[in-house]
Amino acid sequence: MVVEAKGEAGTSSERKRQSVLAAATETFMQSGFLGANMDEIAAASGVSKQTVYKNFGSKEALFIEVVTAMMSEADLKVHTAPAEPDDTAELESYLFNYAYRQLSVALTPTLMQLRRLVIGELSRFPDLARILYERGPQRAITVLSGVFERLEAKGLIECPDATLAATTFNWLFMAEPVNRAMLLGDAGLPTDAKMRQISGEAVRVFLKTYGAEDT
């Protein structure tokens, strides 16, 4: 199967790899794993099917490569580390910005489609869904839980169980829009104004529960 014409290797090989990856991303996002066709991917990337197999081994391996590349990109965008607040006056806007940034990065048509695809392929690719879980919600909650421990040490929130508080806050703003988008598609994605409203309400509920003073 891995028969390759001479002269395809060398400096152009990384370019070919990237071109296959881009075409594969589009094809998998549109057609799903089973529906995607390796001939189509080869044609769209302008290389031979042999070159696709030579670079990625199999349709499964190519799919895994596509998914991990997309997740790494999103991860870099969400987990910036803005300065943490030192007093109660800054707390609310810090939490608001945290929620709003995560919503803005996560709720894109492409990432929602990736999530749908991985969920739909859970029985075939359980490891892929696990990676998405670990790099998505689990990572968000771990990062946030560290933030909450420091905010409690500064006396800004009252939070005996930082992981529980982080889980609650994360889902207070993520749950409704993510689950709506899963089932209603791009038409279900929130507008910018809606994302601000959701973030504000999540902060209000969180501070009612965890605020050091009864805010």
List of residues contacting a second copy (CB under 8 A): 30, 32, 34-35, 116-123, 126, 129-130, 132-133, 136-137, 164, 167-168, 171-172, 174-176, 178-180, 182-185, 188, 201, 204-205, 208-209, 214
Q: Considering the complex, what minimum distance in angstroms separates the CB of residue 192 from a second copy?
A: 19
Question: Looking at beta carbons only, is 61 or 182 nearer to a second copy?
Answer: 182
Question: Looking at beta carbons only, is 161 or 192 nearer to a second copy?
Answer: 161
Q: Considering the complex, what minimum distance in angstroms separates the CB of residue 186 from a second copy?
A: 10
Which 3-state string (H, E, C) describes the chain?
A: CCCCCCCCCCCHHHHHHHHHHHHHHHHHHHHHHHHCCHHHHHHHHCCCHHHHHHHHCCHHHHHHHHHHHHHHHHHHHHCCCCCCCCCHHHHHHHHHHHHHHHHHHHCCHHHHHHHHHHHHCCCCCHHHHHHHHHHHHHHHHHHHHHHHHHHHHCCCECCCCHHHHHHHHHHHHHHHHHHHHHHHHHHHCCCHHHHHHHHHHHHHHHHHHHECCCC
Question: Looking at beta carbons only, is 68 or 209 nearer to a second copy?
Answer: 209
Question: Looking at beta carbons only, is 8 or 96 nearer to a second copy?
Answer: 96
CB-CB neighbours of 39 under 10 Å: 9
Question: Looking at beta carbons only, is 183 or 193 nearer to a second copy?
Answer: 183
